[in-house]
Every structure is written in structure tokens, then in C-alpha cells.
A and B are shown apart, each in its own frame.
Chain A
Amino acid sequence: MGRPSKLILSFLAATTLAGAPATAQEKTDFRVAWSIYVGWMPWGYMEDSGIMDKWAEKYGIDVEIVQINDYVESINQYTAGAFDGVSATNMDTLSIPSGGGVDTTALIVGDYSDGNDAVILKGEGDLTSLAGKPVNLVELSVSHYLLARALDSVGLAERDLDGVINTSDADMIAAYTTDDVQAVVTWNPLVSAIMEEPGANKLFDSSDIPGEIIDLMVVNTETLEANPAFGKALAGAWYETMALMAAGDEEALTAMAEASGTDLAGYKAQLDSTEMFYDPAAAVTFTESGELPDTMVSVAEFLFDKGILGEGAPSADFVGVAYPDGSTTGDAANVKFRFDTTYMQMAADGAL
């Protein structure tokens, strides 16, 4: 190490750059990230088909939609400031960006899981037979939440199991075929692949807790406030695509099916267990319903119970969540997660 000073200087520069926070201001170039999931496939189609460019042009901005292979990494990248928006569930939005102090707005409530996530046992039995068995799942994910809700429904708790074993979603299907694995919790398209195995027994799925696992497009609140055009362009492009899907446009659906590694029939089967809000008015109604705050409170309690809200989080109420009518749950002085129906309402009114 002959010239340490030069090394230090370049390192300082690199770290300071990595540490440069994203600042909110008026701008024209936006980047949003998405990852593969049945309800998010429209984002890829919007980029490829030019629908996004068309709407961005209408508002004089540029929006780039980037696919990220790893779901958690896409949220981490958004939280770090590399993207202006990301596709995420309500639970992960609360724990990662909002728990990390990044004020985040749910711009589009796209769908909720209505059977896409499932608890699967090998062989005969019901939920009570999970007692004393190990369960393989992606720990701290919506699968973990689904398991907690499932156990709760029969008066069991996680401590009644022989532990949960953190297993990567990429290895879930291979894991299921090994002798050690007795039960798994996972999501589509993995659920449909595992259900094809002989003896796979679905014990509980998200249609038993409808409306609790919600798939969103979340954006940085400050960026959105400074740039309403960004919100309008995203909502406009999204609901144009939703109209295509609702009309059963084969070309669009086939493109989405292929991008998610299945065929048209397989994709339609996954859509059947997804409650898509094709109609913006339905998304607005759902977001304004009185059940959403209850869901968010139980999600926050689950996250706190598992220590996911951060090691130092003092209670489940540590992060505040705001709803369209102005009410909040959690800490009203620390609102970092906002459900906002403004742009979905504009789409419903045809005002985009």
C-alpha cells in the first residue's frame, strides 16, 4: 500500500456518492422497478408495448419501467433511492421503505391475493396436523404472515410447530420433493407447480383471508408531490392496460403469460386466484373501505411480533399509516405509508 492517500480519497468519493440521498424536486425522468408476479406482469407489458411511453409523453416526462429479478432487492433498491417507485405488497412496504423512514404512497392498488398464496401439506391432514411439524417458507414474507393467520384460525401458534425453516423461493419446488420437507407455504406460480405433485394437500390459502395480502405500486411521496404528472402518467398507462386485460385481449395476456414463464392458460389460472382491480372505481372503493385499516393494524402487529419493524422499533404502532379519508393508524406523528386514491379516482373519472 504505497499511496494510501489516493486510495482513501477515491474510497471517500465512492462512499459519499453511494450515500447521497435522493432529493425530491421537479424532474422529468423517472424510474420504477417491478418483479415477476401475476398481478405485476402488466408493468412489463406497459414498457414493452409502448403504452407507458405514450402516457409519459402526454405529460411531457420520461418513465422507465425496470424489471428486477429479485423481489426483495427491488424494494431495497427503491428504499435506497435508486427508483421512484416499486411494485410491492402492503406488508413489505410497511416493513422496508416505511419502516426505514422513506415516506411512501400507495399510488395504485392493483389487486389482492385471492388464493395465490397457500399452505400446502404433504399427504392427508388439516391445519391442526401442522403441530409438531417443520414448515418451509420464505421467512418474514407474506407466506410467513399467511401461516400465522392460518395457525391462528385453529388456535395454534408458531411455537406449536417444529420450527419454520427459511427456504428460498427459488429452491421451494426442489425442496418440496425432498423427504425432510413436510409442509410448505409459498405463492404462485410455485403453488400450482407444487399442487401437481401427488399427495399435495392445500390446507389454507389467501382466499381464506381475502383483501389482506395487497399488491401495490408504491412511489416516493415527496417525488409524487413535486411531480403530479408522474402519478398521472403511471395511473393512465396502468388503467389502459387493465382495460385490455378486462376485455381479454389475447395479445396482451399472452405477452404477460410468456414473460412470467407460463402459457395463456396457466396465466389465466393464476389470474383466477387474484382479485385484479381492472376498474379503477373498484380499487378506490377497496382502498376507502373500513377493513383496510384493520388489515394494516394486524399486519403491523405481525411485523412487530417477528421483529421485522426494526430491532429498535419500540412498538407495533411505530410507523403511521394514513388512509384516503385522512384517518391514521399507528403513530400519527410518524406517518410514512399513505394510501392515496387521488390518481385512481382521476382514472375512474376519465380525467387523465
Chain B
Amino acid sequence: MLLPFAALFIAYALGSEARLADNPQDKLLPAPSKIAETAGRLITTADRRSGEILFWKDTFASLQRLGLGVAIAAVTGLITGLAIGLFPYVRAAASGFVSVLSMVPPLAVLPILFIVFGLGEVSKLALVVIGITPFLIRDLSQRVLDIPSELFVKAQTLGASSTVIALRVALPLVMPRLIQSVRLSLGPAWLFLIASEAIAADGGLGYRIFLVRRYLAMDVILTYVIWITLLAFLFDFALRRLSQRLFPWAGEDSL
């Protein structure tokens, strides 16, 4: 498993060495040692102007946006997905709408989001929420529809109301699926987060990358990219463990 990583590193180091031999100040492929040095400084040194350590400020700002956005999307997706899957009337009214809505490319409506929600935090959250909620709704409602109808019939013969069926039969069955869908949505969620921060922001991981791109500070960009990758990997890992812990019966695959 480590072999491709090692190959990637060696290839990068060779390319970097070739360029640096020609121009020691080359910014395009900084030496791995230079990236490590920059990363060390970013993590520990306070900014000249604000006195804050920008790396942690950016990380905090982005994680807050990502966490809130994904949480709103997950709750909305779960409730709407359950309603569409369980109640034929809701399904008739909403499922077509949701399928069409999920086809709208979120980045294409970004200018509209700005005008509706302004340039502040709300439009950034809205982009993440709009970006992943339709997928969650469709995935979860399909999961509810896949539940064998015998289960519902049994519950009904035992006198369960619609609410009880939703909470005691359907909800436990779709919860593992919710975690898995959120795991799959995290990639797009990061994409939308970084896209929104690239356009108008004064902090955040995506903001910093697009800012320093202006003077080709590849050492900073690569540090942030590695950090984002690590964070994304950790979230995915944590969600997988959570799912295994809470729903061991769901037989999660190994991915």
C-alpha cells in the first residue's frame, strides 16, 4: 500500500531537484525539505499583521463551515429521505422535484446564492448544503423504499402508527446508510467549501490556497493540500469506526 506513495514522493523529489539545480529560487516545485520548513513555520508562527496563527485560524474557519454544512445537509437529507420513502403522498409530490433539483450544478447557481444570501458565511454554508443534500435525500429515500414491505406490515399488525414505524422501523435501518452517504458526500462537500472560499472570503483553507496562488507559493499550497487530504482521511476513518461501533449488525464493507 505504501509503494505508490513512495513512488509519488520520489518522482516529485526528482522533478524538484532538476528545476532547483537550474534556478535555486524556483517556486514551482519546492524541495520537500522546503515544504517541511514552510509547514513548520505555518503551524507555529503568528502572522505579522493580525498576530494570529493563520494556519489554525484557516483550519478552524473551514472546519466550522464544513461541519455545519454537512450537519444541516445530513439532518435535512435524513428527514426528507424518510418522508419520501415512507409516505406515498410525499413521494408523489417531492421525489420528482428532488431528482430534478439534484441535477442543478451547485457552482452554476453560485452568483444567485451571493445575491440571495450575500457574500458572508451563509452563502458558503448554502453552497455546501445545496451541493450535497439532494444526493443524500435520493440515496436515503431509495434505502427506505428498499426495506422489505413485510417489516412494515408486521409493525402495522402490531398496532404501530406511522410515527412509530418511521422512528422504530425505518430510522434504525437507514442510519448506517446515512453515515455511509455522508462519507461519500465529504469529497463533494470539500469541493464546494473550497470553491466558495475561493470566491469571497477573509479566511479558510480554500481561501489561503487561492490567495497565495497569486504569487506562486507552492510550498504553502502543498502544505495546505496535504493537510486537507489528512483531515478528509481522518473524517472518513472516524465515520467508518462510528458506524462499526453503533451498527455492528449492518455488516459494513471494508472500504
Contacts and interface: CB of A to CB of B under 8 A. Distances in A.
A101 interface: yes
B210 interface: yes
Interface string B176-192: 00000000000000000
A59 interface: no
Please classify the interface of chain B as helix (H, G, I), strand (E, B), loop, or mixed, using the class held by over half of its residues: helix
A146 to B, nearest CB: 16
Interface string B14-50: 1110110011111111000010011001100000110
Given A4-B7, A100-B25, A179 B199 contact: no
B120 interface: yes
B36 to A, nearest CB: 13
A165 B202 contact: yes
B255 to A, nearest CB: 15
A163 B202 contact: yes
A140 B210 CA distance: 11
A76 to B, nearest CB: 5
Nearest to A72: B214
Contact of B214 (A141, A159, A181): A141
Interface residues of A, number: 52
A19 interface: yes
Contacts of A321: none
B4 interface: yes
Contacts, number: 135
Interface stretch (B110-118, B127-135, B159-167): B110-118
B187 to A, nearest CB: 20
B18 A179 contact: no
Contact of B29 (A11, A19, A72, A180): A19
A140 B217 CA distance: 13
Contacts of A159: 49
Interface stretch (A123-131, A269-277, A283-291, A303-311): A303-311
B115 A178 contact: yes
A269 B12 CA distance: 49
B221 to A, nearest CB: 11
12 contacts: A7-B7, A11-B11, A21-B22, A21-B26, A79-B27, A79-B216, A95-B214, A100-B26, A167-B200, A181-B119, A308-B214, A312-B34
The 9 residue pairs across chains A and B that have the minimum distance between CB atoms: A101-B25, A19-B15, A21-B22, A100-B27, A8-B7, A15-B15, A180-B118, A15-B11, A167-B200
Interface of A: 1, 4, 7-8, 11-12, 15-16, 18-21, 23, 72, 76, 79-80, 95-96, 99-102, 134, 136, 139-141, 158-159, 163-168, 171, 174-175, 177-181, 305, 307-312, 336
